[in-house]
Amino acid sequence: MAISYKDAGVDIDAGNSFIENIKPFVKSTFDKNVLGGIGSFAGAYELPTGYKKPVILSATDGVGTKLKLAIDSGKFDTVGIDLVAMCVNDLICNFGSPMFFLDYYATGKLNIDESTAIVKGIADGCKIGECSLVGGETAEMPGMYSDGDFDLAGFAVGIAEKDELDRTKMVKSGDILVALPSSGIHSNGYSLVRKIFFEELNYNFDTEVVKGERLIDTLLTPTSIYVKIFKKLKSKINALAHITGGGIVENLPRVLPTNLGAIVYKDKIKVLDIFKFMSSYVDESEMYRTFNMGVGMVLVVDKKNLQDVLENSDGYVIGEIIDGNQKVQMI
């Protein structure tokens, strides 16, 4: 008896069909620096010119248990955007401009339609984040993942001036903290989110928590990508903090020198309705340590640049830098 790879659960023909499906999405992200096309052993990217001391930056991340909601709801068009966002939003915090992106997609059994939607989302995220999708890996691994399950990992590479990497030296007492709004929960805290809504409250995907929206649409709103606004305001910003797991209290200190702290005024934060709802079931301190609360990125801005930043973004003031010991006071 002859046993094939397909008998073992891996369909090479399906994989080839999937590659053909995603080619137009991938190519749509290419810029002038991409060398070659799809199908080589490695993606090639020519370094941009104009840098005095260019440094290559890298960032990697996933989407976490937000993927479980995508799987259970059959809604796959946005998690790819989340994947790109989590990586490129980290790059810009070190003043890096994203150049290219790669993804790793692993599943138990390849579903061509679902997989195509996922990669289209990644391509959409790359276009928003102004980077090229130059490669990826799709792994069909029966026995490692249950039917329907999959995981995503992303890898972003950017470029920066060496002298601009360390933002802590730019931060000074009296600088103003400007919040850039998040689009929603983004991609952190979903184990707690799922426990609240689907274990404790027994809600379904169609339950309306935020007015006018199905719960699943609220929860799967893709993470905001802040690359364009960073490039626009780069010369006016001293530092940036991406507000992910740990919230403002744990992420903002990463851009503070040892002799400075920060005050954040909670009453100035434009807390999103989804967080207001969850706050009825979770202690306030836990909310601020787990979620972004409506703040996707915090900019540290010199007072003289504040008006320019506010006029050229949807940002708003939430606090200031003070003398201290790298701690954030939420008052």
Helix (H, G, I), strand (E, B) or coil at 166: coil
Asked if 184 contacts 311 with a C-beta cutoff of 8 angstroms, the reply is: no
Q: What percent of the chain has pLDDT over 70?
A: 97
| pLDDT tens-digit map of 77-95 | 999 999 999 999 999 999 9
What domains sit in the chain, N to C, each tagged with a CATH number?
A: 12-164 (3.30.1330.10), 168-330 (3.90.650.10)
pLDDT of the residue at 21: 82
Beta strands in the chain (DSSP E): 34-35, 44-45, 54-62, 97-107, 132-140, 150-161, 176-181, 239-242, 260-264, 295-301, 316-323, 328-330
Q: Give the mean pLDDT of the chain.
A: 94
* pLDDT score for 18: 80
Mean pLDDT, rounded, for 272-297: 97
Chain mean position to CA 43? 22
Q: What is the mean pLDDT of residues 275-289?
A: 96
Phi, psi of 107 (to 5 degrees): -145, 165
- Is the pLDDT at 1 greater than 90, yes or no? no
Token pair for 20: 């053909």
Average confidence (pLDDT) over 154-183: 97
Please indicate whether residue 10 or residue 94 has the higher confidence score (pLDDT): 94
Binned at pLDDT 50, 70 and 90, residue 5 comes out as low
Backbone angles phi, psi at 88, to 5 degrees: -70, -30
How would residue 150 be classed by pLDDT, with cut points 50, 70 and 90?
very high
8 Å CB contact between 185 and 274: yes
Q: Are 115 and 107 in contact (CB under 8 A)?
A: yes
pLDDT given at position 254: 96
Contact 293, 252 (CB under 8 A): no
Phi and psi at 225, nearest 5°, equal -110, 125
- Note the pTM of the prediction, 2 decimals: 0.95
Least confident of 22-26, 54-58, 134-138, 306-310: 22-26
Cβ(124)–Cβ(19) below 8 Å: no
Residue for token pair 């001391």: 53
Burial of 277 (0-12, 13-18, 19+ CB in 10 A): middle
Min mean pLDDT across 74-78, 140-144, 210-214 is at: 140-144
- Does residue 324 have a pLDDT over 70? yes
Number of alpha carbons in the 13 Å side-chain half-sphere of residue 275: 24
Reduce the DSSP state of residue 38 to 3 states and report it.
coil
How far apart are the C-alpha atoms of 110 and 309, rounded to whole Å? 46
CA distance 37 to 267: 51
Mean pLDDT for the stretch of residues 131-159:
93
pLDDT of residue 4: 63
What CA–CA distance (Å, rounded) separates 272 from 219?
Answer: 12
C-alpha to C-alpha distance for 252 and 235, rounded to whole angstroms: 20
